[in-house]
Amino acid sequence: MIDGSRQLARAMADMAWTALPDGTIDFVNDRAKSYSGTAPGDTGGLLESLHPDDRQAMLDNWRTSFRTGETFELEARGLRHDGIYRWFRIRIIPVIGHDGAIDHWFGMSADIHEQHEAQDALRQAQTTNESVLARLQRILDHSVDAICSFTADGTCVEMSARSKDIWGYEPAELVGRNFGDLIHPDDREASGRDNIEIRSGRQVSDMLQRYHRKDGGLVHIQWSSVWSDEEQLFFNIARDVTAQIEAEARLRQSQRLETLGQLTGGVAHDFNNLLTVILGNAEFLAEQLPEDGDLHRLAIAMQDAAERGSALNRRLLAFARRQALEPRVTDVNALMGSMDHLLRRTLGEHVEIEIVRAGGLWRGFVDPAQMESAILNLCLNARDAMPDGGRLTIETANAHLDGTYAASHEDVQPGQYVMVAVTDTGQGIPPDVVNRAFEPFFTTKDVGKGSGLGLSMVYGFVKQSGGHIKVYSEVGQGTVVRIYLPRTRETAEDAAPSAGSATSLSGSDKILLVEDDDLVRSHVDKQLRGLGYRVVAVANGPEALEVLGKIADFDLLFTDVVMPRGMNGQQLAAEARRLRPGLPVLFTSGYTENAIIHHGRLDPGVHLLNKRYRREEMARKVREVLDEAREAAGQTT
């Protein structure tokens, strides 16, 4: 999750940074570097950057956050690059790891020196005969915040020029207007209570309210306010904190999806082991029993149930970004064209389908099978949103996502993409549902009508492919889902050719089988022996290396990827090849992590058999790896 926090910090226009749990700053963005003069790698402690008189307040807040896990905010003086202390508003968010402990801190700092001076001026003006408005006038034109005054009923008396940037109104448009009309309805009651407290003598510097802009958008305003009995006016300083709040919301969403991904990936790993055994035994029983008997039909039903469980598991792995993708140079237009017949047959005649393919479309680098599955999922969702029929449009286009767009969207890299948009004329999605659309098991469909994993699978696939996905929807007006896939400048001819299919499914080769799950190990051992292979089966990497040290004539290492005893499958393969150069390796896994898959694709030259697999799939893959190794050895002799 720390990588996501740093990407967010890089994209922010304000000063942002991350720190270790002990307060050591380990990353600052470009804005913070230029402001403070900190050079890359020259990062120190959070406390050392503050004025000595402000360090205790930071410590007190810090300790409280350690206990409660809550975000905290304070004002303190920090060093600028020229050695001058200036006032900052510092907001620090504890980032919680999957173990429930604070993993690191994410901080944002804003220079509020002028605002702080304005607050001092307000306080001093209250104790003198000098007019508050006269004192404010000297800083109105220089403050980055809006400075204004209101009557007791909320009517604006004076407004600085900053209002244009915050609310979209010129100052003259706001003077004489009651600001209560602009407050979001859900915030009006709290605003009234705050005003009563301020009039009783309390100075407020942290009121947070939402306001409607002139263009119809919403802006989040943090107020500092005091009441003058002499003037019978509220004097206020308003800061636009919309970007900060949206950044925090994106960070929380990123953390939530990351945590859910870790959970679902772990569950999928164990589930795949069970499915491998269940499906394999069901296949064996079905082959041994008479086809016209009840027991044979029960075995077939077991196979079908295991296949349905496998489909569910693939969606879990897709969301967790743990599926093994095999991306290649892909003509997305041709892929969409090949789906035309499938979509018309699947969606039914009540859905009118149009596929609009852009001329000169760039090529994408993507797993075409998973791409087809993702588009089909989106189209099925669109069909369900149009129960009485409607129009479905699939459109391709070249797209460029610039730095401005990337800065406002999590995990987006600026660059060129191949875009596929799926548009329906259905019921549309409410805003609160759109915000949760990619969460696994979240669905608005009736019980039994959906697993809540369709969009989660699409989201995980797109993210693992290095792309971006965006949903636009309005209730009653339909939905648009846009997928952005990385462009590649390679041609199909540049892509490495895939290995040919093996013709024989049996052999007498000697195989070292490494699998930590007892049930799976016993099951695969039996299947391999049934195909004629000689098998030595062990439970982990150290045991496998011990066997390799004694027996030198193995033809294949067939190993799980995720294993205990401090050695995963990739590490075992490296040690095995050191002992036996040229030993072919076939990996198997239901939860790949990053041992053999990087940047959403298999490492070059790696062979992987995904759990859960049928006996024929295993036999074909084992034979393919052995034959490929034998052919390579013949070419080098």
CATH number at residue 437: 3.30.565.10
* 500 domain residue, yes or no: no
Do 368 and 487 lie in one domain? The reply is: yes
User: 3-state DSSP call for residue 102?
Assistant: strand
Contact of 564 with 239, CB cutoff 8 Å: no
Do 139 and 233 lie in one domain? The reply is: yes
User: What is each CA distance from 211 to 69, 217, 222, 242, 503, in whole angstroms?
Assistant: 29, 8, 11, 11, 69
pLDDT per position as a tens digit, 146-164: 888 899 888 999 888 888 8
Do 613 and 526 lie in one domain? The reply is: yes
| DSSP conformation letters of 309-332 | HHHHHHHHHHHTT-S----EEE-H
Residue 427: domain span: 328-494
Angle CA 423–426–431, to nearest 5: 85
Mean pLDDT of the chain: 79
Task: Report how far residue 323's alpha carbon sits from residue 255's, in angstroms, rounded to the nearest whole number.
Answer: 20
pLDDT at residue 135 above 60?
no
* 322 domain residue, yes or no: no
Do 363 and 252 lie in one domain? The reply is: no
Q: What is the mean pLDDT of residues 311-325?
A: 56
Task: Report how far residue 220's alpha carbon sits from residue 544's, in angstroms, rounded to the nearest whole number.
Answer: 60
* 503 domain residue, yes or no: no
Task: Report how far residue 349's alpha carbon sits from residue 12's, in angstroms, rounded to the nearest whole number.
Answer: 48
| CA 62 and chain centroid, separation | 28
With 0-12 / 13-18 / 19 or more C-beta atoms within 10 angstroms meaning exposed / middle / buried, residue 436 is middle
Q: How many helices (H) and strands (E) does the chain have?
A: 20, 24
| CA 356 and chain centroid, separation | 29
Q: What is the mean pLDDT of residues 198-227?
A: 83
User: What is each CA distance from 466 to 27, 278, 485, 525, in whole angstroms?
Assistant: 24, 34, 7, 37
Task: Report how far residue 122's alpha carbon sits from residue 138's, in angstroms, rounded to the nearest whole number.
Answer: 12
pLDDT, residue 421, reads 95
Task: Report how far residue 163's alpha carbon sits from residue 575's, in angstroms, rounded to the nearest whole number.
Answer: 66
Task: Report how far residue 504's alpha carbon sits from residue 509's, in angstroms, rounded to the nearest whole number.
Answer: 13
Task: Report how far residue 203's alpha carbon sits from residue 224's, in angstroms, rounded to the nearest whole number.
Answer: 8
- When mean pLDDT is compared across 109-113, 315-319, 373-377, the lowest value belongs to 315-319
| Residue 593: pLDDT band with limits 50, 70, 90 | low
pLDDT, residue 269, reads 62
Which of 282, 301, 300 lies closest to 291, judged by CA?
300
* 119 domain residue, yes or no: no
Q: What is the mean pLDDT of residues 210-226?
A: 87
pLDDT at residue 204 above 80?
no
- Tell me which of 569 and 636 has the higher pLDDT: 569
Query: The domain spanning residue 41 has which CATH number?
Result: 3.30.450.20
Q: What is the mean pLDDT of residues 325-334?
A: 84
User: 3-state DSSP call for residue 504?
Assistant: coil
Going through 506-555 in order, the beta strands assigned E by DSSP cover 510-514, 534-538
For the chain, percent of residues with pLDDT exceeding 90: 16
- Helix or strand holding residue 406 (H, E): helix 403-407
pLDDT per position as a tens digit, 477-516: 899 999 999 998 887 544 444 444 445 678 899 999 999 8
Contact of 603 with 480, CB cutoff 8 Å: no
pLDDT per position as a tens digit, 378-393: 998 899 889 889 999 9
| Residue 361: pLDDT band with limits 50, 70, 90 | very high
Do 530 and 546 lie in one domain? The reply is: yes
pLDDT at residue 128 above 60?
no
pLDDT at residue 328 above 90?
no
Contacts of 50 (CB under 8 A, 6+ apart): 58, 76, 77, 78
* 162 domain residue, yes or no: yes
Task: Report how far residue 241's alpha carbon sits from residue 237's, in angstroms, rounded to the nearest whole number.
Answer: 13
Task: Report how far residue 1's alpha carbon sits from residue 7's, in angstroms, rounded to the nearest whole number.
Answer: 10
The structural domain count of the chain equals 5
Residue 209 phi, psi (nearest 5): -140, 155
- When mean pLDDT is compared across 93-107, 239-253, 264-278, 504-518, the lowest value belongs to 264-278
pLDDT per position as a tens digit, 408-466: 776 788 999 999 999 999 988 888 777 777 765 555 555 444 444 567 778 878 887 88
pLDDT at residue 2 above 70?
no
Do 441 and 412 lie in one domain? The reply is: yes
pLDDT, residue 498, reads 42
- Domain finish residue from 261, 295, 317: 317
With 0-12 / 13-18 / 19 or more C-beta atoms within 10 angstroms meaning exposed / middle / buried, residue 464 is buried
User: 3-state DSSP call for residue 618?
Assistant: helix
CB atoms within 10 A of CB 153: 9
Do 619 and 574 lie in one domain? The reply is: yes
Task: Report how far residue 493's alpha carbon sits from residue 425's, in angstroms, rounded to the nearest whole number.
Answer: 39
* 465 domain residue, yes or no: yes
- Given strand 25-28, what is the order of strands in its sheet? 25-28, 15-19, 102-111, 85-96, 72-79
pLDDT, residue 261, reads 56
pLDDT, residue 493, reads 45
Contacts of 594 (CB under 8 A, 6+ apart): none
With 0-12 / 13-18 / 19 or more C-beta atoms within 10 angstroms meaning exposed / middle / buried, residue 172 is exposed
3-state secondary structure string, 329-375?
Answer: EECHHHHHHHCHHHHHHHHCCCEEEEEECCCCCCEEEECHHHHHHHH
Do 51 and 197 lie in one domain? The reply is: no
Q: What is the mean pLDDT of residues 292-321?
A: 68
pLDDT, residue 134, reads 57
Q: What is the mean pLDDT of residues 266-271?
A: 64
Helix axes 615-636, 242-288, angle to 10 degrees: 100
pLDDT, residue 158, reads 84
pLDDT at residue 324 above 80?
no
- Domain finish residue from 184, 211, 240: 240
The encoded tokens of residue 375 equal 């588009």
Per-range mean pLDDT, top range of 282-291, 309-318, 492-501, 503-512: 503-512
User: 3-state DSSP call for residue 198?
Assistant: helix
CB atoms within 10 A of CB 60: 12
pLDDT at residue 223 above 80?
yes
User: 3-state DSSP call for residue 547?
Assistant: helix
Which of 183, 141, 137 lies closest to 164, judged by CA?
141
pLDDT, residue 89, reads 87
Do 451 and 562 lie in one domain? The reply is: no
Peptide bond into 328 cis (omega under 30): no
pLDDT per position as a tens digit, 27-64: 888 888 887 776 555 556 677 888 999 999 988 998 88
DSSP 450: -
pLDDT, residue 443, reads 59
pLDDT per position as a tens digit, 604-619: 678 888 776 777 888 8
Do 350 and 294 lie in one domain? The reply is: no
CB atoms within 10 A of CB 345: 9
Which of 143, 121, 145, 144 lies closest to 134, judged by CA?
121
Do 388 and 477 lie in one domain? The reply is: yes
- Helix or strand holding residue 194 (H, E): helix 188-199
**Half-sphere exposure for 615 (CA within 13 Å, toward CB):** 23
- Domain finish residue from 240, 268, 283: 240
With 0-12 / 13-18 / 19 or more C-beta atoms within 10 angstroms meaning exposed / middle / buried, residue 598 is exposed
* 291 domain residue, yes or no: yes
DSSP 155: B
pLDDT per position as a tens digit, 165-175: 889 888 889 99
* 351 domain residue, yes or no: yes
**Half-sphere exposure for 118 (CA within 13 Å, toward CB):** 30
Query: The domain spanning residue 566 has which CATH number?
Result: 3.40.50.2300
Per-range mean pLDDT, top range of 123-127, 196-200, 462-466, 534-538: 534-538
Q: What is the mean pLDDT of residues 523-530?
A: 88
Using only C-alpha atoms, the chain has a radius of gyration, in whole angstroms, of: 31
- Tell me which of 69 and 303 has the higher pLDDT: 69
Q: What is the mean pLDDT of residues 117-136?
A: 62
Which of 121, 151, 123, 127 lies closest to 139, judged by CA?
121
pLDDT, residue 457, reads 75
Do 561 and 528 lie in one domain? The reply is: yes
Task: Report how far residue 314's alpha carbon sits from residue 242's, in angstroms, rounded to the nearest whole number.
Answer: 38
Going through 387-508 in order, the beta strands assigned E by DSSP cover 390-401, 415-424, 468-474, 478-488
